[in-house]
Amino acid sequence: MLENILLVVSILLIAIVLLQSNKASDSAQIITGGNESLFQNAKERGIELLISRITLFLGIVFFIISFVLFIK
């Protein structure tokens, strides 16, 4: 039972991480010298905030289920 839930949570976690915005390109601009967004305080809003919270929740659920299965 828990193994099936872990499988579903894993698939959802992978999907939601793939939906997140690409912040790697912002980091690459810092290295290459594009510093116009270096000191901007960009807050997540709307759908980005929702996706971040879902990712956090799924990550915590994944960790708890994995830990319970390890103990068992």
Tokens representing residue 1 in the block? 């039972």
pLDDT at 54: 95
**Planar angle of CA 40, 28, 54, nearest 5 degrees:** 70
Reported as type and span, the H/E element at residue 25 is helix 24-32
Going by C-beta distance under 8 Å and a sequence separation of 6 or more, which residues neighbour residue 28?
Answer: none
Q: How much is the mean pLDDT over the chain?
A: 83
pTM over cut 0.75: no
What would the pLDDT profile of 4-56 be if each residue is shown by its tens digit? 999 999 999 999 999 887 665 555 555 666 555 555 666 778 888 899 999 99
Tell me how far apart the alpha carbons of residues 28 and 12 are, in angstroms, rounded to a whole number: 28
Tokens representing residue 16 in the block? 């939601």
